[in-house]
Chain A
Amino acid sequence: MFAFEFPEINGILRWKDLFPTFNKIALIAVLAALISIVIFWIAGSRDGRKAPKGVRNFAETTVDFIDNGIVMQTMGKQGLGWTPMLLSLFLFIYLCNLPGIVPGFQMPATARIAIPMSLALFVWVTYIIVGLKHQGLGYFGHLLWPPGVPTALKPLVGLIEFVSTIIVTPFSLTVRLMANMLAGHILLVTFALLTEALVQAETAQFALVPLGILPFGMLVFLTGFEVLVAFLQAYIFTILTAVYISNSSAGHGDEHMTD
């Protein structure tokens, strides 16, 4: 209908190297790490006895959010030692997601599978080590057979539990983050291209050019929505990490959740 070609997937996801082996995705990841380090460095150098303001206020709010919103809800009081790790994870993922809507970047670093996969592998290794540390080699027994499984069912349950904890968990952590950000990115690209195609229409301009307001409105709405998604995905990744760690440190409890 219009001369409208959707670009190849590589055209919207692959970036030229800024210099060899370092492209925009790597730049965003490095910036995300640097920004969170600098924020907490500045916040840490302020006097803690005075009323917090500015950067320290922001840092304290973030720590408070991780403490009350994530750790206390999933791991309870004994999990508070995990706050620094979960906080770094949360901030890194959030700051990697956010460039999806920042003009000039317009690409969430987590939409490429490398970063979510590395983070999921890190979480995977962490919760297995925590399990081994808390329960010794019996961890693998607890992992495969929750207490109270009849012997006849053990092979089946063992297989299901093995697949769900060892294979599906890191896979779904990766895919959840990556696919969410990729979907958002593709949506933004689609509506931006639609707007462009309508505004630059060659035929029937009197009708098509004003129609361009519709995809543009959707684009504005989706940009706002992406702010929410960026936050929500960082939150969900962090809270799932907390749940997995608390599962493997406490053994098979009632609140056993894997996927």
Chain B
Amino acid sequence: MEAFSALAAVVDPADAKNTAAASSAGFAYGLAAIGPGIGIGYLVGKSVEAMARQPEAAGMVRTTMFLGIAFTEALALIGFVVFILLKFA
């Protein structure tokens, strides 16, 4: 028990807060990247498939693909902003 009380004395509340902020910032970004990662992979894969099947429609498919990527990626980027806010703000 004495060992634990010694530990508790060493941990400074500001340090504990920084540690918690840093680890939760990592989790925030990591979790936010899962969904968009799957989404963008699926989206680009399907677009490549479409372009390979119908090369003459490649221009249109590409534009729509970039639009879709932009919408999907926004979620990951919001996660990144949360990371910055947790870590530095």
Q: Which residues from chain A sit less than 8 Å from chain B, CB to CB?
A: 8-9, 69-70, 73-74, 172, 175-176, 178-180, 182-183, 232, 235-236, 239-240, 243, 257, 259
CA distance A180 to B77 in the complex (A): 7
CB atoms of A239 and B66 under 8 A apart: yes
- Asked whether, in the complex, the Cβ of A175 is within 8 Å of the Cβ of B74, the reply is yes
Q: How far is the CB of A139 from chain B (nearest CB, A)?
A: 22
The secondary-structure label for the interface of chain A is helix
- Report the Cα distance A259→B2, complex, angstroms: 56
Residue of A178, A182, A183, A236 touching B70 (CB-CB under 8 A): A236
Residues of A within 8 A of B63 (CB): 69-70, 73-74, 239
Provide the residues of chain B in CB contact with A172, threshold 8 Å.
Answer: 71, 74, 78
Query: Chain A's nearest CB lies how many Å from the CB of B60?
Result: 6
Q: Do A179 and B81 form a contact, CB below 8 Å, given A240-B70, A257-B71?
A: yes
A selection of 5 A-B contacts at a CB cut-off of 8 Å is A74-B63, A176-B77, A179-B81, A240-B70, A257-B71
CB-CB under 8 A for A257 and B77, given A9-B84, A9-B88: no
A236 partner residues in chain B, CB cutoff 8 A:
66-67, 69-70
**Residue from the list B59, B60, B81 in contact with A175, Cβ < 8 A:** B81
